[in-house]
């Protein structure tokens, strides 16, 4: 493969990771010492049908129809920014944030009002770079219905490393499998791993120091859930934008007498029927999160950017992996 094809393949790959044209320009210089103008990169992206967005916005009718469909499910919990990302990435619509904001205010005034009054006050957070500190934890809000979730997030980039529903998030071997699978996929492990004191973390608390034996550090940090703020903050957002819909769904069918958490066969049936659907939705949520722009907090030492880009290309922010 000649240099031109290598260059074009790299440009396409970086664009698919949601890098901006300016970031692609800098990374080409960094990786293959090639200097291209912004205009030339844009032409290559256009040739590969990867130019950012068509200038003409999709029809208001088609946008409204998709939003109405999303409002029937967990999408009803999304704010206008997250809904805008979903319309662009999952439904391939060309849409402005202002259009989505206006449509949500019109089609879902009650949900819009509820989101406005639910704001979080976040702590100051410091992290040296990608893979310096991972935060992992279990999410138990759907556990009474047989659908516990386990997740992990990189503290610096806010990239979700795994987000899985399973039969149990208290099984040490299951949590260890998530960890080892992530280490294999990412070809590396974090400098530090933070978990709470639950027994489900006993195996990864043993594995993590083994990964760091050459550095002569334990590499694992136990602590209270309140100190594991990156993942706890993400759980709060997951409930607002996804899981609350399912919580309300199960409460509704329980009140109707169609579901009882005291019956094991009800739990097993719900897990068998709904776990694949929920995992698919979690995969979508993870993908959207890793490709959306995270704003720089006003009182935190963390950069703004797209989690995938912050994680894969830390040199753009002057830090090391």
How do residues 137-188 score in pLDDT, each as one tens digit? 999 999 999 999 999 999 899 999 999 998 888 889 999 999 999 999 998 8
Residues 216, 160 contacting (CB under 8 angstroms): no
| Same domain, yes or no: 257 and 202 | yes
Q: Calculate the average pLDDT of the chain.
A: 87
Span 14-65, pLDDT tens digits = 887 778 888 888 888 888 888 889 899 888 888 887 765 556 788 999 999 9
Span 223-241, pLDDT tens digits = 777 678 889 889 999 999 9
Task: Specify which residues 137 forms β-bridges with.
Answer: 151
| Same domain, yes or no: 157 and 20 | no
| Same domain, yes or no: 158 and 262 | yes
The answer to whether residue 299 scores a pLDDT higher than 60 is: no
Domain range for 14: 3-52
Is 321 inside any structural domain? no
Q: What is the pLDDT of residue 139?
A: 93
CATH (domain of 216): 3.30.420.10
Neighbours of 47 (CB within 10 A): 12
| Same domain, yes or no: 153 and 278 | yes
The Cα–Cα gap between 129 and 156 comes to 5
| Same domain, yes or no: 89 and 213 | no
The Cα–Cα gap between 150 and 198 comes to 13
Q: Rounding to the nearest 10 degrees, give the CA dihedral for residues 214, 216, 222, 223.
A: -120
pTM (2 d.p.): 0.75
| Same domain, yes or no: 161 and 261 | yes
| Same domain, yes or no: 36 and 140 | no
The Cα–Cα gap between 288 and 284 comes to 6
Neighbours of 161 (CB within 10 A): 24
Task: Specify which residues 138 forms β-bridges with.
Answer: 150
Is 97 inside any structural domain? yes
Residues 197, 216 contacting (CB under 8 angstroms): no
Percent of the chain surpassing pLDDT 90: 44
Is 319 inside any structural domain? no
Per-residue pLDDT, averaged over 70-76, amounts to 88
Span 8-25, pLDDT tens digits = 888 888 887 778 888 888
Is 81 inside any structural domain? yes
| Same domain, yes or no: 101 and 158 | no
| Same domain, yes or no: 35 and 19 | yes
Q: What is the pLDDT of residue 111?
A: 83
Neighbours of 73 (CB within 10 A): 13
The Cα–Cα gap between 7 and 13 comes to 10
Count: domains in the chain: 3
| Same domain, yes or no: 175 and 68 | no
By DSSP bridging, strand 149-154 and strand 133-139 are: antiparallel
| Same domain, yes or no: 95 and 43 | no
Is 318 inside any structural domain? no
Is 126 inside any structural domain? no
Task: Specify which residues 294 forms β-bridges with.
Answer: 305
Is 243 inside any structural domain? yes
120 pLDDT tier (thresholds 50, 70, 90): very low
| Same domain, yes or no: 167 and 46 | no
Is 283 inside any structural domain? yes
């Amino acid at each position: 493969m000649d240099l031109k094809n290598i260059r074009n393949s790299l440009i396409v790959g970086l664009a698919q990771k949601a890098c901006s044209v300016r970031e692609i320009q800098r990374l080409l210089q960094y990786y293959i010492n090639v200097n291209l103008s912004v205009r030339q990169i844009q032409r290559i992206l256009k040739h590969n049908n990867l130019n950012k967005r068509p200038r003409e916005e999709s029809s208001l009718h088609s946008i409204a129809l998709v939003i109405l469909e999303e409002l029937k499910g967990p999408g009803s919990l999304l704010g206008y920014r997250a809904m805008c990302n979903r319309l662009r990435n999952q439904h391939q619509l060309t849409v402005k944030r202002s259009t989505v904001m206006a449509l949500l205010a019109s089609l879902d005034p009650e949900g819009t009002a509820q989101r406005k009054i639910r704001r979080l006050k976040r702590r100051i957070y410091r992290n040296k770079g990608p893979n310096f500190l991972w935060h992992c934890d279990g999410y138990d809000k759907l556990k009474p219905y047989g659908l516990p979730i386990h997740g992990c997030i990189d503290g610096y980039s806010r990239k979700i490393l795994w987000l899985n529903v399973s039969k149990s998030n208290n099984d040490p071997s299951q949590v260890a499998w998530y960890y080892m699978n992530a280490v294999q996929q990412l070809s590396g492990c974090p400098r530090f791993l933070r978990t709470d004191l639950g027994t489900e973390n006993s195996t990864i608390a043993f594995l993590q120091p083994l990964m760091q034996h050459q550095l002569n550090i334990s590499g694992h940090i136990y602590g209270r859930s309140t100190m594991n703020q990156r993942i706890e903050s993400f759980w709060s957002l997951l409930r607002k934008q996804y899981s609350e819909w399912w919580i309300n769904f199960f409460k509704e069918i329980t009140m109707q007498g169609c579901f009882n958490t005291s019956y094991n066969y009800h739990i097993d049936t719900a897990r068998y029927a709904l776990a694949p659907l929920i995992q698919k939705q979690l995969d979508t949520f993870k993908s959207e999160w890793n490709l959306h722009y995270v704003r720089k907090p006003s009182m935190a030492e963390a950069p703004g950017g797209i989690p995938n880009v912050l994680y894969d290309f830390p040199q753009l922010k002057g830090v090391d992996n």
